[in-house]
Amino acid sequence: MEGSLHHCLERLRLARTGDDLQREILALRDVFEVGHLVYHSVNSTGEQYAALTYSPDWVVRYVSQSYERIDPVVQGCYRRFHPIDWRALDWTSRAARSFLHEALDHGVGTQGLSLPIRGPGGQFAVFTVNDTVTDESWTRLRDERLSDLILVAHFVNQKALELEGNRDAADLRALSPREIDALTLLAAGHNRAAIADRLHISEHTLRVYIESARHKLGAMNTVHAVARAMVQGLIVV
Domains, the chain: 2-170 (3.30.450.80), 174-231 (1.10.10.10)
Residues 6+ apart with CB under 8 A from 85: 112, 113, 142
Cα Rg for the chain, rounded, in angstroms?
Answer: 18
Q: Would you give the end-to-end CA distance of the chain in angstroms?
A: 23
Find out whether 213 and 182 touch, Cβ atoms under 8 Å: yes
Query: What is the average per-residue pLDDT within 68-82?
Result: 90
Q: Say what percent of the chain tops pLDDT 90.
A: 48
Q: Do residues 30 and 39 make contact, with C-beta atoms less than 8 angstroms apart?
A: no
| 101-144 pLDDT, tens digit each | 999 999 999 999 999 988 777 788 999 999 999 999 999 999 99
Top pLDDT among 51 and 163 is at 51
Lowest mean pLDDT among 26-30, 137-141, 178-182: 178-182
Q: What SS3 string covers 27-63?
A: HHHHHHCCCEEEEEEECCCCCEEEEECCCHHHHHHHH
Torsion sign (Cα): 41, 110, 153, 218: positive
Those residues whose C-beta lies under 8 Å from the C-beta of residue 208, and which sit 6 or more positions away, are none
Banded model confidence at residue 39, pLDDT cuts 50, 70, 90: very high
